Amino acid sequence: MTHPNNYTIAEEIAEKGLEAIPEMMRVLINNAMQVERSRYLQAEQYERTKDRKGHANGFKPKTIQTRIGNITFAVPQVREGGFYPSALEKGLRSERALTITLAEMYVQGVSTRKVKTITEQLCGIEVSATQVSRATAQLDEVLQEWRERPLGEISYLFVDARYEKIREAGQVRDAAVLVASGITPEGERQILGVSVSLSEHETHWKAFLKSLKERGLHGIKLIISDDHEGLGAARRAVFGGIPWQRCQFHLQQNAGAYLPRQSMRLEVAADIRAIFNAPDRKTAEELLQSAIQKYAISAPRLSSWLENNLFEGSLVFDFPLEHRRTIRTTNSLERINKEIRRRTRVVGVFPNQASCLRLVSALLMETCEEWQIGKHFCTGKFMNS
């Protein structure tokens, strides 16, 4: 491998048997077998040429047990007989190396160079740019299908944004990466969607939220996010009437901008935590009024900010006590974004929006699959009870 560090990551992922890896192997080997049949016939599908040596005759399914599960391949047939693709045998003989390479592509994004190398190794012949592009597009479809899958009922919707550097028209620009996750009425977490765009903040947020709704997202009881630019207007336009919980963690951090001196930081943080950790709304409101009065003289800007903003982090008091710790912040998405940042730092500047979306989609798909076999996060009193 050309990237020994990523090889270790890929090998670990390959061992987990992620659902996308068998599908990518199926697509790639199927494509390689089709290339091999075209070379054998000396003609592409439906091509009229005097050099044709026979005729394609569809495909025959063949299910093979591999180290990552049973995979059903479509073996190309020739009407006149005498043809059997070697790509399938070669792929299975080097199954471990192929699986790890596919896992690397799953993490890093589909690479035309890698597709070309793998396909030529399987076929034993040089592959054209058109054939490589076809295989690459098919592999990308695996991620696109996941991004566009139907959604269902979600009680709690979390949204967050981060930025990646993308090259556009010879310039390096910041592209917003929007991510949404949710918790079902049964307490299961899901990654719901992702979008990458250079468009204006409100336009991008509105299009992203509308896409979630169009895919069937419904039943939302609470939206949790930070106060991202453009999100408020987009949220009201698409999900008007649904309560909004501002991330308490970010609210507490924002208070630091209104301190007259940094020596007050710990004291103010403790007061805000006491408000957020109150057992009920009545107690929280009493503590908030006490804090507003406490800092009215010593820190008037802070006192005014507390009065005008801290209530945005109090919607959780309307929901079950056992749910509050999970839904009062966007920390779950922050952890995901931290992992995305760790992987994208290696790339630096993405060549285009598509490459950024491809990598982030792969990472989120991996996370979503891990969540499906993990614990429930909101148990006890379900939202539909």
The overall longest dimension of the chain from CA atoms, in Å, is 93
Q: Is residue 180 a contact partner of residue 157, using CB atoms and an 8 Å limit?
A: yes
Side-chain-facing half-sphere of 228: CA atoms under 13 Å: 25
The predicted pLDDT at position 13 comes to: 39
The predicted pLDDT at position 4 comes to: 36
The predicted pLDDT at position 131 comes to: 57
Provide the residue-wise pLDDT of the chain in tens; the chain has 385 residues: 333 333 333 444 344 434 556 766 777 788 888 888 888 888 776 667 777 778 888 888 888 877 667 888 888 888 888 888 887 777 666 655 565 555 555 545 555 566 666 666 655 556 565 655 665 666 677 788 889 999 999 999 999 998 999 988 889 999 999 999 999 998 889 999 999 998 778 899 999 999 999 999 999 999 999 988 899 999 999 998 899 999 999 999 898 899 989 899 999 999 999 999 999 999 999 999 999 999 999 999 999 999 999 998 899 999 988 898 899 999 888 888 888 888 777 677 888 888 788 878 877 887 887 777 665 566 554 445 4
The predicted pLDDT at position 317 comes to: 93
Integer-rounded Cα Rg, in Å, for the chain is 26
Distance in angstroms (rounded) separating the CA atoms of residues 317 and 172? 44
The predicted pLDDT at position 267 comes to: 92
Q: Provide φ and ψ at 325, rounded to 5°.
A: -60, -35
User: pTM of this prediction?
Assistant: 0.67
Residue pLDDT, tens place only, 327-347? 999 988 888 888 888 877 767
Strand-pair partners of 241: none
Spacing of C-alpha 191 from chain mean position: 7
Residue pLDDT, tens place only, 368-380? 877 776 655 665 5
Q: Count how many residues are written for the chain.
A: 385
Distance in angstroms (rounded) separating the CA atoms of residues 17 and 323? 32
CATH T-level assignment (fold) for domain 153-241+349-384: Nucleotidyltransferase; domain 5 (3.30.420)
The predicted pLDDT at position 108 comes to: 52
Distance in angstroms (rounded) separating the CA atoms of residues 12 and 104? 10
Distance in angstroms (rounded) separating the CA atoms of residues 287 and 272? 9
